[in-house]
Structure formats: C-alpha cells, structure tokens
Amino acid sequence: MALRIAQLPVDPPVLLAPMAGITDLPFRRLAVRFGAGLVVSEMVASREVVCAGAEARARAEIGAAEGRTAVQLAGCDPHWMAEAARLVEAQGARIIDINMGCPAKRVTNGWSGSALMREPDRALALIEAVVGAVAVPVTLKMRLGWDEGMLNAPEIARRAEAAGVAMITIHGRTRCQFYTGRADWAAIRPVVEAVSVPVVANGDITGPEEAQAALAASGAAGVMVGRGAQGRPWLLGQVASALDGRAAPKVPEAEALADLVVAHYEEMLSFYGRDLGLRVARKHLNWYLEAAGLAAHRGPIVTGTDPARVVRALRQAFGAQERAAA
C-alpha cells in the first residue's frame, strides 16, 4: 500500500502531522527511523522566514532537505507565501505543504490557517501563488470547514486540485470544534470523491485499529498521525505494519527505551542549546513517562535543570520498570 505525491512515492502511506512545538527536527528523525512514510515540519510563517536573516534561518533549521520531509508554510499573503516557497525549495525541500487547518486564534485572527476556509477565493490565490513559484509538489492540509454551517472542504479541494495541488490532507473536524469530540472520518469521503489526487485522513488516529477504521470510513489513500505519536514515535511504524502486513518495529522497553529517551533528550539539548532545550524537552519527557506508566517518576525528570541528573533519573525510572517486570 502506497500513495504518490506527483511523482514522489510515499511508502508507507502513514504521515506524521505537523504539530507546533512538537514535530521539530529531532522528533521527525525519530518518526522516520521507526518507519514513517512522510513527516511534515512544524508550521513555518511565510513572511517571517523570508524576512529573517541568514543567522536566524540557520537557527530555525527547518530540515528542508531531510529525507521524507515536507515543509509546511502558513500565511495570508500570496506574495510572501510564494517567496517562502522559493526559499525552502532552494534549501532542498522536496514537498511544500500549505497550512489551512490550524485552528489557533493567534493564526486565524490573521486570516491564516483554517480561517482561509472562510475565504475560498483568498485561499485559492495563495495556492496558485505557491504552485506557480516552485517546481516541487505542493500539498494542502485543511479541515472539513469552518463550522457545521460551512462544510466546504470538497469545493476547496476541487479548486485546489485544478490549481495544481498534488495531495490533500483533511482533519475530520471543523475549525470551531478545535480538538473536541471525535474526528468524523466518514465526512472526509466527499473530499475523496471530489478529487483525483490522493486524500489523507487525519484526526484521532492513535493506533492501527483507528487507522484501519479511518481508511474504511473515508476511502482515503493514507493516514496522518498527530497527537497519538506524542511519547510514542514508533507509533507510525506500528500503523504502517498493520496496514501493509509488514513486520512491526520493535517497541523499545526498559533499558532500550531509556537509551532512546536519553538520546532524544540529548539531541534536543544540542539542537536548541541547553537553556531552551531543557524547556522544550519537558513535554517530551513527560509524554514518554506517561506512555510507559512511569508518571510517578516525572518530578525530578521534568523539572530538572542539570542534564546529567536528568539522565540518571531517567535511567533509574526505566530501570525500576524493568525490575518490576522481572
């Protein structure tokens, strides 16, 4: 089972969703290591990335040229979206994704993200500008609509395909739902039926069973995993193995899991620098501990400011898990 974005195969058709403050380069590398078919960068504000100096761009380190990576751009101005697309293409991006799904008020108040679903003509102008600016495939991520009274994803998808978009991802909620309730995978099917390009289903895909149910309900060509991968970067590989009948990746436990978490922690400190890295790492460490049933050990780990002590505490926590299982 595979899908194609223009001439680029995505195999397996299991994608990591862009999540602000979460799917940074260290986390995306882990997801690819465990078998993700494609990972999408954190949302990049188009005007800001163009106007930033070379030093700021280097610090941002989008990872555009990393294997199996799409770079997601957000904005409301066709000019800046096109300029940002040219920039990340020059940095090596193989795929550029347009954000029309983010529900956050700080984004929608500026007529970016899912606010564009309220203005299809404005959205189309952005899409046309990006597609016209680059030679690499352009994809689109959006929601079912702004609210229950404006479920216009099929209409926008048709227009996006006509403008040259090569793949569309649909989160099975409206913007006004944010992340409440359950994603409506069946409501994605009208988008699948409206276009000939691949459609990917997103929302509440937390394991292989949910992925299979989402594909059955939506008729989509693949799935995108978001919050379910927090603390479980191997989840995409598990989903892929269930869909394709491949050997599932071995889920690390005890000492092996400690090694993975410590390596991820140290890479975050290296990537961000010590002070910022300590703050960014807290949520990831908390998710790892919760997923492993070790939340009781998180105090000195999540709040620790001495990396050496945090590493020791992590190894002690996972060692305690191994002893308890023996």
Q: Which residues are catalytic?
A: 102
Question: Closest Cα partner for 233 from 210, 263, 213, 212?
Answer: 263
> Distance between CA 212 and CA 50 in Å, rounded?
40
Beta strands 14-16 and 222-225, pairing class:
parallel
Task: Check residue 203 and give left, alpha or beta (phi > 0: left; psi -120 to 50: alpha).
Answer: left
Residue type, 12: P
Dist. CA 123–CA 116, nearest whole Å: 5
Q: Which helix (H) or strand (E) holds 32?
A: helix 25-33
Residue type, 73: L
From residue 83, how far is each of 78, 87, 162, 314 by CA, in Å? 9, 6, 22, 44
Neighbours of 317 (CB within 10 A): 23
Residue 237 host element (H or E): helix 235-244
The pair of three-digit structure tokens given for residue 61, joined into one six-digit string: 């380190």
